A = this chain, B = another copy of it.
Amino acid sequence: MAEPAAYRELEARFARLHALGGASAVLDWDSQTMMPPGGAGARAEQRAALALACHEILTDPRLGELLDRAEAETGELDRWQAANLAEMRRGWVHANAVEARLVEALTKATSRCEMRWRRARPDNDFAAFAPALSEVVALVRETAAAKAAALGTSPYDALLDEYEPDARSAEIDAVFADIESFLPDFLAAVLEHQARKPKPLPLAGPFPVEAQRALGVKMMAIVGFDFDHGRLDVSAHPFCGGTPDDVRITTRYDEADFTQGLMAVLHETGHAMYERGLPPAWRLQPVGRAASAGLHEGQSLLIEMQACRGREFIAFAAPLLRAAFGRDGPAWQADNIHRLYTRVEPGLIRVDADEVTYPAHVLLRYRLEKAMIAGELAVGDLPGAWREGMGELLGLVPPDDRTGCLQDIHWAEGAFGYFPTYTLGAMIAAQLFDAAQAADPDIRPGLGRGDFAPLLGWLRANVHELGSSLGTAELVERATGRPLDAAVFKAHLEARYLA
């Protein structure tokens, strides 16, 4: 295929943008894992300087001209190049829709708001947090309006588009409505079913951090994590960062309970396998990136929820757990561990929620953030709306804002449009895992012998290696033979929790 000059020049510019983005990602990892507290100010300056350098590349008038010229020459581009060009344009639209003044104001406001949040949450002081959040919401709404005009979408959809390209809230509303109508009766049935079975026996600690870490490393290797291209470290909140060539995942250790930290390792390993599996030939280009936040979460939930909380894998893992901590007895048998790892218990805190009740937490946030962006919910009314929503969705009313609307950092960071991707991810994970099993009957037995190769082979071919060459909706439909909806997710929940 010929490569026209304008397109070639765009690739060079985006490679540079991508390298600066990689630098910023490593610095972000460092901030959360290694940086001493006194380094925060200098780090903020470093990341702001990097963000400005990236912004300048994307807003250089010459870049817009190059895009126009390349788009006039698409006949000479192959499928991947054309998809790459479309992703370049998407990045350009997002960056150029918003004035530099607004970008800077929002950066500063979210910085202040995050700091305020870090004190307000432990202090349970919503009043101290509200003015900073109001400022953020006002600036996010302004951003949303500007991007909506450029993208031809609603303001909320313009925000959503940053995380979930081409997704629209009208479609999400429909699948979320399906889950919302399913959940109350299903949850009641699960709790009743669970009550009839013996309570899981607790795994008694302590579990030394070093043993937990060694077990985590072993599990990562079993899934297929390549330690020549990545690390495992500790942070307050587990995450997957770095770059595809150097994937940095984290977890946290609780000496009294290893189960959460271990599942976090497996969750983040799912993210990491996606990053590592992205097409190497396109590693510095927009089309070489993950297709969406929902698809990314789909990869982590597929490994964690679908594969590693399943009976096959837990049967394989139970002896490793016993060996890791030198324990034995009834609590350490696969059956009991499986009961622990699939225990359902409605609670107030999203990050502690089980697979069944998690969507309720997301539905609430999705509902509230849409209302805030639409100007239908004032920040001051958030605590009340939260309590009301939690009562309706899970039958629980938080006694305070610390366990209510102050629990998450996302809105303080200006991340509106991100929450729905958690539940989109859960549905994607269920639908992909189902299709993978149908395509390769050895996938489930493989998990039972700690062999992830069949599963990963299918994921590589049908998801990872496609990068952003397909949109998430098209990718899921091609991989699974049907558009994304809640049906397979619901069937999965029924099979696992009512069996």
User: Which residue numbers of A lie inside 8 Å of B, CB to CB?
Assistant: 15-16, 19-20, 22-24, 26-27, 30, 34-39, 41-43, 45-50, 52-53, 226-231, 242-246, 283-284
Contacts and interface: CB of A to CB of B under 8 A. Distances in A.
Given A16-B52, A20-B50, A23-B27, A284 B228 contact: no
B42 A243 contact: yes
Contacts of A24: 23
Given A230-B36, A231-B34, A42 B22 contact: yes
Contacts of A50: 20, 23
Contact of A46 (B26, B42, B49): B26
A126 B67 CA distance: 50
A45 B284 contact: yes
Contact of A26 (B27, B52, B231): B27
Contacts of A27: 23, 26-27
A46 B34 contact: no
Contacts of A53: 20, 53
Contacts of A47: 23
A20 B47 CA distance: 8
13 contacts: A16-B49, A19-B46, A22-B42, A23-B23, A26-B46, A34-B34, A36-B229, A36-B230, A36-B231, A37-B228, A38-B229, A38-B230, A42-B244
A30 B230 CA distance: 13
A74 B308 CA distance: 68
Given A27-B27, A36-B230, A229-B36, A245 B42 contact: yes
A227 B42 CA distance: 15
Query: In this complex, which of A26, A34, A49, A229 has the most chain B Cβ atoms within 10 angstroms of its Cβ?
Result: A49
The 6 closest A-B pairs by CB, nearest first: A39-B246, A19-B49, A38-B229, A42-B245, A23-B46, A38-B228
A20 B39 contact: no
Given A23-B46, A38-B228, A42-B245, 18 more contacts: A16-B49, A16-B52, A19-B45, A20-B46, A20-B50, A22-B42, A22-B46, A23-B24, A23-B47, A26-B43, A34-B231, A36-B231, A38-B246, A39-B246, A41-B245, A42-B243, A42-B244, A42-B246
A19 B41 CA distance: 11
A353 B226 CA distance: 40
Nearest to A43: B246
A221 to B, nearest CB: 13
A66 B64 CA distance: 29
Contacts of A284: 45
A49 B19 CA distance: 6
A105 B26 CA distance: 27
Contacts of A34: 34, 231
Given A45-B22, A49-B19, A36 B243 contact: no
Contacts of A227: 36
Which of A23, A30, A245 has the most chain B CB atoms inside 10 A of its CB?
A23
Nearest to A42: B245
A53 B43 CA distance: 18
Nearest to A284: B45
A47 B27 CA distance: 12
A159 to B, nearest CB: 28
Contacts of A36: 227-231, 246
Most chain B CB within 10 A, of A15, A27, A244, A245, is at: A245
Contacts of A49: 16, 19-20, 23
Among A46, A228, A229, A284, max chain B CB count under 10 A is at A46
A303 to B, nearest CB: 20
A38 B245 contact: yes
Nearest to A16: B49
A450 to B, nearest CB: 23
Contacts of A41: 245
A233 to B, nearest CB: 8
Nearest to A25: B46
